[in-house]
Structure 1
Amino acid sequence: MTDRQPMDHEAYQAQARSGPCFVCSFLSGHPDYAHETIYEDDDHVAFLDRWPTVPGKVLVAPRLHIEHVVGDLDEAAYTRLMLVVRRVALAVETVFRPERTYLLSLGSQQGNAHLHWHIAGLPPGVPYRQQQFHALMTDSGVLRMDQASTSEMAAQLRQAVHAQGRPLP
C-alpha cells in the first residue's frame, strides 16, 4: 500500500457537495464519472472506487437515487441490496484474500447523498495502527492505479462474482 498519490480533498469536497450525484451521473454515462463496473442487475450496480485506499475497493449502490439506508428501502429491497453487497464482498475476498473485509455505508445529505456501500479488503500484514478507519482514509493519499491495472482488477472481480454462479433473488 505504498505506491500512493495525493488526494485533492478540496476538489473532491467541492464536487461531492455541489456537483451532480456521482452514482446517477455514472449510471447515465457521464464521462467525468466513469467507473469500472464489477456487477450489475436491474436494481443494483457495483463498481471500483475511483480513489481507493486499498486494492479492489468497490462501491455498491441501488440504481434508483435512494438516500437513506434504512428508511428509504423496504425490508425486501434492503435484503436484496445486502445480498449484492455480500456477493461482491465474497468476490473481493476471493481475488485479494484480505485479512478482514470492511463494509460501510457512507455519505450524507451534505455530499454523496446517493446510498452506497463501500467494500474494502484490508490487505494482510497491514500494521494494526494503520488498519480500520486509517486504512480507509485518504489523508495518506490514494493508490496510484493505471488504466490497464484497473481494468485487469475489474475483470478479476467480475469473474469472481460470475463464478459464484447463483442468481440473486
Structure 2
Amino acid sequence: MCIFCKVAKKEIPARIVLEDDDLVAFHDINPVAPIHVLVIPKQHITGIGDVTDEHALVLGKLLVAARRVAEDAGLLQSGFRVVVNHGQHAGQTVHHVHVHVLGGRPLAWPPG
C-alpha cells in the first residue's frame, strides 16, 4: 500500500486541512512554498496518466478542493498554483495521483 493510501486511511499522521468521503488534503512534509498542500483521492489511482473516464468525478472534486484549500489559506487574492506531476521526469515521487496547491510567495515561470 502506498504512503498516500496510508494517510487516507489515517494509518500514518498528517496535518489534514480538508477531508470528505472521496478525498483528503494535507500539508506536504517537504514544502517548496509557505503554503504547500497535497490533495489526494482516497481511491488509489497511480497517476494522472492512468486515469479513465470513470475518474472524471473524483478528478473534478480534486480541483474544487484545491480551490477551497487556497481560499482557506488566504491565497485567492494573491494567487496560487495547482500542479499535477506524472512520472519520473516530472518529479512524481509518490505513485498516487495528487494535486499540489502552492502559494504564499511569488512563484516563478516557467517552473524548473
TM-score (ref. length: structure 2) = 0.75
Instruction: Find the partner of 1:131 among 100, 104, 108.
Output: 108
Name whichever structure is richer in strand by fraction.
2
User: Which runs of 5 or more residues in structure 2 are unaligned?
Assistant: none
Over alpha carbons, which structure has the higher Rg? 1
Q: Contact 2:66–2:99 (CA<8 Å) still a contact in 1?
A: yes
- Counterpart for residue 23 of structure 2: 44
Distance 2:66 2:84 in 1: 11
Q: Secondary structure at the match of 1:52?
A: coil
Q: Secondary structure at the match of 2:100?
A: strand
Distance 1:97 1:85 in 2: 11
Aligned length: 106
RMSD of the alignment, in Å? 2.6
Q: Secondary structure at the match of 1:85?
A: helix
Bigger shift: residues 64-73 or 41-50? 64-73
Name whichever structure is richer in helix by fraction.
1
The structure-2 alpha-carbon separation of the partners of 1:77 and 1:108, relative to structure 1 and needing over 3 Å to count, comes to: same
| Percent sequence identity over aligned pairs | 27
Amino acid at match of 1:42: D
Q: Contact 2:41–2:58 (CA<8 Å) still a contact in 1?
A: no
